[in-house]
Structure 1
């Protein structure tokens, strides 16, 4: 019946007697670093995809601390997303550009694959 008790917490995630609101919040500088990293991922993902793909992001506070989500909704097919739960130590120095590039490329590739999976091979190419 621990699921009914808001103070039980998930084992190994939030200690008993704590809720996610008790988890340490980010400082203003750390939050700014996270926002900049997420904005960079969104901007880089936009460079890989046409304008018909909707790209957005969200910052939230989960049970493991701060969480950033970047999502891509292709014109057809299912949306894809990537979640980031950075260490506060990583935020002080900033997320590496390699990590941000990897996330952006992965999202763009997954979104393009969703379109290809939905459309299939039934299209006749208009140009080569």
Structure 2
């Protein structure tokens, strides 16, 4: 029964529940450069929305379905917020992550980081008026 599922694995090669190496897309050097450039643009755009006290970092790692992109923001107080996704490598022409996607991720991260600060200090601030 398990022999005909994609999750059964290949004896001696791929464990059950693991993907075969041939199924995971490899990035060309050009795609790697473009992906690094696009991720750097997301981090830079996020920094534009936030004061310098916020720390913004980005990372590209290999996942089960290909490259995984993570952009994270550490606000001065509160919890770290992050966005992670897998870029679509098949439909990519010049940009692996489009300008609209970069802006959407950057705005969402900046808003979430600002909300973290607001929630962290809301209990410590006495309102001046009601």
Distance 1:73 1:98 in 2: 23
Equivalent position to 1:116, from 104, 118, 124: 118
**Structure 1 residue 23: Cα displacement:** 1.7
**Structure 1 residue 84: Cα displacement:** 2.1
Distance 1:72 1:31 in 2: 23
The equivalent of 2:35 in structure 1 is 34
* 1:33–1:91 contact (8 Å) kept in structure 2: no
Query: More displaced, 22-31 or 45-54?
Result: 22-31
* 2:74–2:113 contact (8 Å) kept in structure 1: yes
Higher helix fraction: Structure 1 or Structure 2? 1
Equivalent position to 2:100, from 98, 103, 108: 98
Number of paired residues? 115
**Structure 1 residue 25: Cα displacement:** 1.3
Query: TM-score, structure 1 length as denominator?
Result: 0.79
The equivalent of 1:8 in structure 2 is 16
RMSD (Å), alpha carbons: 2.2
- Long gaps (5+) in structure 1: none
- Long gaps (5+) in structure 2: 1-7, 9-13
Moved over 4 A (4+): none
The equivalent of 1:72 in structure 2 is 73
Tell whether 2:52 aligns with 1:51.
yes
CA shift in 2, pair 1:90/1:103, >3 Å:
farther
Distance 1:74 1:120 in 2: 15
- Which structure has the larger Rg over C-alpha atoms? 2
